[in-house]
């Protein structure tokens, strides 16, 4: 049976790590489907490994996806590098923490997926390439740029240390935003790609309108060109939409249609995409407005999501590949 994995991040609090079984089960009951992937975060500012969260997710029969973000409290966007800067990572400042985290991942022992420093081609996170020299050329290497090269060095450093500690149950997700900001060639995914030996899956974030005043777009133009661009980065890796969602606002946009079209297109049009993780969250903005990306922001939105994931092409549990490195396989055989 062919299919694609369905997954969700389910509003797990400000640090995205307050995972509870009740929250997961309530979401699944609401949408009518068990989730093959459950996403949550492990921010470096916590200096911990989320063992309890991952064990809960694994016992539930889902694959844990962890956004492992070198980010310090209070976890504000658009504030520049903090003590976990890519430069400090590359200097080895945080090696002891990386090693402890890797040891705990190895002790967890079950398959897990890690997205390290996601959306680096944006300009909002403290690990964004634009903050580390951006498009400045590396001296003596005219085809390389300081921002992406600094990121690649940090990514490789982290993966090398985790693997050296024997955490072979970790699958690595290279995860960019769909469109770069700034949207310039030096900032495209290919510039940041650390190499096939460091990556197991390719991932994209695909968001529609998130705040009032933004322009509305249907999902297809948000997805098609970034999909083609990412697919060209590495022709061999499975791909996933590691985050996707849209808010609901007065105006011309139709959230239910966005969701309906998204689930249909992701299932049928893009063969390299093997999973999609919906970002189910509501938050307050600086201007006291709210962004509601939850699937149940309206009856119509929830009905669209329920109907979409009810298609048997959306698989509700991981299919495990038996090998020396446990990993979720491409869903092209019967579960």
Neighbours of 27 (CB within 10 A): 21
> Is residue 118 predicted with pLDDT exceeding 80?
yes
Contact 36, 63 (CB under 8 A): yes
- The pLDDT confidence band at residue 157, using thresholds 50, 70 and 90, is very high
Confidence of residue 327 (pLDDT cuts 50, 70, 90): low
Per-residue pLDDT band for 326 (boundaries 50, 70, 90) equals low
Task: Report yes or no: 170 and 198 within 8 Å, Cβ to Cβ.
Answer: no
43 burial type by CB count under 10 A (0-12 exposed, 13-18 middle, 19+ buried) = buried
pLDDT in tens, 205-233: 999 999 998 999 999 999 999 999 999 99
**Whole-prediction pTM value?**
0.95
pLDDT tens-place string over residues 51-93: 999 999 999 999 999 999 999 999 999 999 999 999 999 999 9
Q: How far is the C-alpha of 48 from the C-alpha of 136, rounded, in Å?
A: 35
Closest Cα to residue 327, out of 65, 68, 100, 119?
65
Share of the chain above pLDDT 90, in %: 93
Query: What confidence score (pLDDT) does residue 101 get?
Result: 99
Q: Decide if pLDDT at 330 tops 80.
A: no
- Give pLDDT, residue 2: 82
Q: How many CA atoms lie within 13 A of 222 on its CB side?
A: 23
Backbone angles phi, psi at 45, to 5 degrees: -65, -20
* Predicted pLDDT at 335: 30
The pair phi, psi for residue 241, each rounded to 5°, is -90, 100
Q: How far is it, in rounded angstroms, from Cα 263 to Cα 276?
A: 9
What is the rounded end-to-end Cα distance, in angstroms, of the chain? 7
Confidence class of residue 322 from pLDDT cuts 50, 70 and 90?
very low
Tell me, letter by letter, the H, E, C secondary structure of the chain.
CCCEEEEEEECCCCCCCCCCHHHHHHHHHHHCCCCCEEEEEEEHHHCCCCHHHHHHHHHCCCEEEEEEECCCCCCCCCCCCCCCCHHHHHHCCCHHHHHHHHHHHHHHCCCEEEEECCCCCCCCCCCCHHHCCCCCEECCEEEEEHHHHHHHHHHHHHHHHHHHCCCCCEEEEEEEECCCCCCCHHHCHHHHCCCHHHCCEEEEEEECCCCCCCCCCCHHHHHHHHHHHHHHHCCCCCEEEEEEECCCCCCCCCHHHHHHHHHHHHHHCCCCEEEEEEEECEEECCCCCEEECCCCCCHHHHHHHHHHHCCCCEECCCCEECCCCCEECCCCCCC
Task: Tell the CATH superfamily of the 4-328 domain.
Answer: Glycosidases (3.20.20.80)
pLDDT by residue (tens digit) across 267-311? 999 999 999 999 999 999 989 999 999 999 999 999 999 999 999
Which token pair is 241?
Answer: 């939409």
pLDDT of residue 331: 62
CB 260 within 8 A of CB 308: yes
Using pLDDT thresholds of 50, 70 and 90, give the confidence band for residue 199.
very high
Beta-ladder partners of 320: 328
Across the chain, mean pLDDT equals 95
Residue identified by tokens 């079209």 is 261
């Amino acid at each position: 049976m062919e299919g694609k994995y369905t997954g969700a991040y389910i509003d797990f609090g400000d640090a995205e790590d307050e995972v509870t079984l009740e929250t997961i089960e309530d979401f699944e009951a609401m949408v009518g489907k068990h989730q093959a992937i459950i996403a949550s975060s492990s921010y470096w500012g916590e200096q911990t490994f989320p063992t309890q969260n991952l064990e809960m997710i694994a016992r539930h029969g889902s694959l844990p996806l962890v956004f492992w973000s070198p980010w310090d409290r209070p976890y504000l966007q658009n504030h520049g590098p903090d003590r976990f800067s890519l430069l400090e990572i590359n200097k080895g400042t945080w090696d002891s923490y990386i090693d402890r985290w890797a040891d705990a991942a190895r002790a967890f022992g079950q398959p897990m997926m890690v997205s390290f420093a996601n959306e680096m081609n944006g300009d909002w996170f403290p690990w964004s390439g634009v903050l580390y020299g951006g498009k400045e050329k590396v001296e003596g290497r005219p085809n390389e740029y300081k921002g992406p090269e600094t990121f690649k060095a940090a990514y490789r450093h982290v993966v090398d240390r985790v693997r050296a500690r024997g955490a072979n149950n970790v699958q690595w997700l290279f995860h960019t935003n769909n469109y770069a900001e700034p949207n310039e060639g030096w900032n495209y995914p290919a510039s940041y790609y650390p190499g096939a030996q460091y990556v197991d899956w390719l991932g994209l974030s695909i968001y529609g309108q998130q705040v009032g005043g933004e322009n509305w777009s249907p999902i297809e133009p948000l997805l098609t060109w970034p999909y083609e661009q990412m697919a060209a980065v590495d022709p061999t890796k499975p791909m996933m939409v590691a985050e996707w969602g849209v808010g609901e606002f007065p105006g011309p946009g139709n959230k239910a249609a966005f969701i309906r079209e998204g689930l249909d297109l992701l299932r049928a049009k893009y063969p390299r995409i093997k999973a999609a993780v919906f970002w189910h969250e509501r938050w307050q903005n600086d201007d006291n407005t709210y962004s509601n990306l939850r699937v149940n922001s309206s009856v119509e939105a929830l009905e669209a999501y329920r109907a979409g994931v009810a298609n048997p092409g959306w698989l509700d549990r991981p299919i495990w590949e038996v090998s020396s490195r446990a990993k979720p396989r491409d869903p092209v055989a019967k579960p």
